[in-house]
């Protein structure tokens, strides 16, 4: 019973804190001059990933590789599905059309590269160097290099998306009152709260898995993945309602890129050597599904369809369909 209570409390706290993060993040993006795309990538993405980080690391340290990896990989697929939901909520036009940005295109391409690395580690020989697979430091290096490319593209763009009547540019909102330091304190406090809640949630998930007999793969991929990903959904919807479309999209892609650092941390924290070779093969499903969903979204951002069936883009309809099929596959095979 206590495990269910801990899980629910953690989930409620994550959702509540996430609903406030978008407002503070949008304000800081404007007042610091970073802009929505960079703030969503470098700061908001890291904060909304903290529940995933805490939950995944907790499971890895407890020698539960399936729970750890299904949580973080399942979270990335859920985050991408959230963009389809966000597109359905934004009724003026296709979200990927309205939030056109070279930064988001580059982030999507970077995510595909990062997702491919742990999959290569899984099919490679079970190597172990200083307690981690050689691919782990490669993931970190690729992430840092990718951030440099994104930052360079933002400061010295080589091309721009075509501006249409439905394009919502990333422009600073009128200056608001209040202390900038107070806004940073609020942002930092919410970050700590979401991180602690993620740890509590995973502790509850471990108990649920043990008490119900459900596999770690099912609990991680379905329960904890959706719960720890809830900040991304809440902040994305809140950002859309505030008109911060670029922040909404960059937060999702930025979070998933940062989550690859969580994958690296899980391998480093796992006491049994390389975590990639101790988890069930079904975990590859989430990685492959995330690559497929990201590629579909990338095509949608390039095509920039203004309207589609039900006023959502073809890419949103496809990724939601793919995610539903993936849930069925993991449930049956996990």
Query: Where is pLDDT greater, at 176 or 99?
Result: 99
Under 8 Å between Cβ of 55 and 199: yes
> Would you state the pLDDT for residue 308?
67
Mean pLDDT, the chain, as a whole number? 81
Over residues 85-99, mean pLDDT: 78
> Would you state the pLDDT for residue 174?
53
Over residues 88-107, mean pLDDT: 79
Percent over 70 (pLDDT), the chain: 90
Instruction: Examine the pLDDT at 46 and tell me if it is beyond 70.
Output: yes
> Would you state the pLDDT for residue 169?
62
CATH topology of domain 2-158+181-333: A middle domain of Talin 1 (1.20.1420)
> Would you state the pLDDT for residue 249?
82
Please report, for the chain, the start and end positions of each structural domain, with discontinuous segments joined by +. 2-158+181-333
Q: 183: how many CB neighbours lie within 10 A of its CB?
A: 18
129 - beta bridge partners? 132
CA 45/CA 318 separation, integer angstroms:
24
Over residues 57-66, mean pLDDT: 88
Q: Which two tokens stand for residue 221?
A: 């991929």
> Would you state the pLDDT for residue 145?
94
Give SS3 for 220: helix
* pLDDT confidence band for 289 (50 / 70 / 90): very high
Under 8 Å between Cβ of 324 and 332: no
pLDDT tens-digit readout, 273-287: 889 988 887 778 888
């Amino acid at each position: 019973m206590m495990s269910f209570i801990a899980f629910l409390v953690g989930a409620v706290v994550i959702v509540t804190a996430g609903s406030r993060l978008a407002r503070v993040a949008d304000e800081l993006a404007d007042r610091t001059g970073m802009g929505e795309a960079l703030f969503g990538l470098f700061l908001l993405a890291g904060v909304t990933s903290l529940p995933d980080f805490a939950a995944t690391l907790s499971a890895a340290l407890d020698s539960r590789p399936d729970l750890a990896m299904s949580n973080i990989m399942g979270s990335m697929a859920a985050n991408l599905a959230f963009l389809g939901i966000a597109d359905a909520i934004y009724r003026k036009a296709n979200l990927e059309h309205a939030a056109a940005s070279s930064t988001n295109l580059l982030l999507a391409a970077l995510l595909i590269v990062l997702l491919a690395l742990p999959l290569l580690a899984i099919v490679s020989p079970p190597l172990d160097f200083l307690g981690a697979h050689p691919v782990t430091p490669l993931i970190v290096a690729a992430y840092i290099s990718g951030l440099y490319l994104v930052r360079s593209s933002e400061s010295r763009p080589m091309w721009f998306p075509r501006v249409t009547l439905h394009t919502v540019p990333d422009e600073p909102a009128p200056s608001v009152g209040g202390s900038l330091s107070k806004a940073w304190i609020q942002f930092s406090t919410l970050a700590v709260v979401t991180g602690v809640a993620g740890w509590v949630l995973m502790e509850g998930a471990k108990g649920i898995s043990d008490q119900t007999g459900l596999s770690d793969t099912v609990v991680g991929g379905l329960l904890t993945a959706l719960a720890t990903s809830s900040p991304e959904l809440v902040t994305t919807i809140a950002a859309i309602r505030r008109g911060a479309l670029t922040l909404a999209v960059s937060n999702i892609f930025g979070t998933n890129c940062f989550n690859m650092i969580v994958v690296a941390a899980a391998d480093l924290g796992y006491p049994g050597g390389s975590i990639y070779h101790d988890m069930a093969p079904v975990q590859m499903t989430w990685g492959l599904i995330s690559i497929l969903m990201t590629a579909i979204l990338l095509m949608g951002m390039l095509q920039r369809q203004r309207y589609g069936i039900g006023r959502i883009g073809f890419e949103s309809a496809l990724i939601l369909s793919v995610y539903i099929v993936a849930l069925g596959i993991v449930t049956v095979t996990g």
